[in-house]
């Protein structure tokens, strides 16, 4: 088995494991037998090379200009997100070599952490981009239907959810995220904090909506006023997309 075959085999096993966690499904999101909120295609998986690629933004760089400026979007997507994709492919490659006795076993802890960080970064940003929409084309407001009902059940009201989500995001220590997640065992929605790209998330949580509070997401426009950026983020949430994720998550 050559290195390319090893890469492909291990990467496919990795995707299967992620699918089991409720994040990634193979094929189309129209596959209603899966509770995954993303597909291989969403993540730019390339079967031919067995590597991830960086998908384009689902809108123009200046589409969210009232809340997030074009320069921030360009740097964030084209450099930061691209860096996570590159780091993810590299970590997978290094772990494959170790697995097949062609790498340095002493570095497995390092590369496993790199995999967690960069895979987290790739998934988080993919969810982030498609979780937003211009406030002039439907972004913001409140969800309706089943998601609205579940938010009321889980948090008491939309206002109470929004308060907790914004507070959690504002108070992330250092770089990280706040998430609205579906917890499939108790069948409840929860708000979580995440540090870096992966820490503090618990097993089985299915991410529905995330706000990136790394400084690279807002500093050019908002400087140290993270709370103002989060207030703006609430005005561009794509609740239609978040509702679709919720319906898939609870299958
Ligand atoms: Fe980011």
Domains of the chain: 3-130 (1.10.287.990), 135-249 (3.55.40.20)
Residue 25: band (very low, low, confident or very high) from pLDDT cuts 50, 70, 90: confident
Between 72 and 21, name the one with better pLDDT. 72
Give the gyration radius of the chain's Cα atoms: 18
Question: Are 8 and 18 a contacting pair, CB within 8 Å?
Answer: no
Vertex 120, ends 171 and 147: CA angle to 5°?
A: 70
Residue 34: band (very low, low, confident or very high) from pLDDT cuts 50, 70, 90: confident
Total residue length of the chain:
251
190 Cβ neighbours under 8 A, 6+ residues apart:
154, 180, 181, 182, 183, 205
Question: Are 197 and 117 a contacting pair, CB within 8 Å?
Answer: yes
Between 36 and 131, name the one with better pLDDT. 131
CA 36–ligand 1 middle distance (angstroms): 22
CA 201–ligand 1 middle distance (angstroms): 17
pLDDT above 60 (res 10): no
CA 84–ligand 1 middle distance (angstroms): 9
Alpha carbon distance 196, 21 (integer Å): 20
CA 240–ligand 1 middle distance (angstroms): 22
CA 70–ligand 1 middle distance (angstroms): 14
Tell me what pLDDT residue 18 has.
Answer: 54
Q: 207 - beta bridge partners? A: 181
CA 228–ligand 1 middle distance (angstroms): 17
CA 125–ligand 1 middle distance (angstroms): 6
Percent helix, strand, coil in the chain (nearest 5)?
A: 50, 15, 35
CA 78–ligand 1 middle distance (angstroms): 11
Alpha carbon distance 139, 133 (integer Å): 5
pLDDT above 50 (res 60): yes
Tell me what pLDDT residue 14 has.
Answer: 47
CA 230–ligand 1 middle distance (angstroms): 14
Tell me what pLDDT residue 35 has.
Answer: 81
Q: Report percent pLDDT > 70 for the chain.
A: 88
Tell me what pLDDT residue 24 has.
Answer: 74
Q: Which residues surround ligand 1, an ion (CB under 5 A)?
A: 212, 214
CA nearest neighbour of 142 among 37, 29, 22, 237: 237
Q: Count Cβ atoms below 10 Å from residue 219 Cβ, excluding itself.
A: 14
pLDDT tens digits, one per residue of 146-184: 999 999 999 999 999 999 999 999 999 999 999 999 999
Alpha carbon distance 101, 86 (integer Å): 23
Question: Are 194 and 172 a contacting pair, CB within 8 Å?
Answer: yes
CA 178–ligand 1 middle distance (angstroms): 12
Between 36 and 110, name the one with better pLDDT. 110
**DSSP states of 45-78 as a string?**
EETTTTEE--PPPSS-TTTTTTTS-HHHHHHIII
Question: Are 192 and 169 a contacting pair, CB within 8 Å?
Answer: no
Alpha carbon distance 117, 198 (integer Å): 6
pLDDT above 70 (res 12): no
Specify which of 4-8, 25-29, 136-140 reaches the highest per-range mean pLDDT: 136-140
């Amino acid at each position: 088995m050559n290195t390319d075959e090893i890469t492909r085999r291990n990467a496919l096993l990795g995707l299967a494991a992620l699918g089991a966690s409720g994040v990634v499904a193979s094929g189309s999101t129209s596959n209603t037998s899966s509770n995954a909120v993303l597909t291989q295609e969403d993540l730019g998986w390339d079967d031919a090379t067995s590597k991830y690629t960086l998908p384009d933004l689902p809108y123009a760089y200046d589409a969210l200009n009232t809340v997030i400026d074009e320069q921030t979007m360009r740097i964030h997507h084209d450099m930061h997100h691209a860096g996570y994709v590159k780091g993810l492919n590299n970590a997978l490659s290094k772990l494959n070599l170790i697995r097949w006795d062609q790498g340095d076993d002493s570095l497995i802890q390092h590369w496993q952490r790199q995999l967690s960080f960069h895979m987290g970064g790739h998934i988080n940003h993919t969810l982030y981009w498609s979780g937003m929409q211009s406030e002039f084309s439907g972004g913001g407001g409140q969800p309706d239907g089943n998601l609205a009902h579940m938010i009321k059940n889980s948090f008491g009201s939309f206002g109470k959810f929004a308060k907790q989500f914004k507070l959690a995001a504002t108070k992330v220590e250092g770089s990280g995220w706040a998430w609205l997640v579906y917890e499939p065992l108790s069948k409840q929605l929860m708000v979580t904090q995440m540090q870096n790209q992966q820490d503090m998330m618990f097993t089985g949580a299915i991410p529905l909506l995330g706000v990136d509070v790394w400084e690279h997401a807002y500093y050019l426009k908002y400087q140290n006023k993270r709370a103002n950026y989060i207030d703006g983020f609430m005005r561009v949430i794509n609740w239609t997309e978040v509702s679709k994720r919720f319906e898939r998550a609870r299958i």
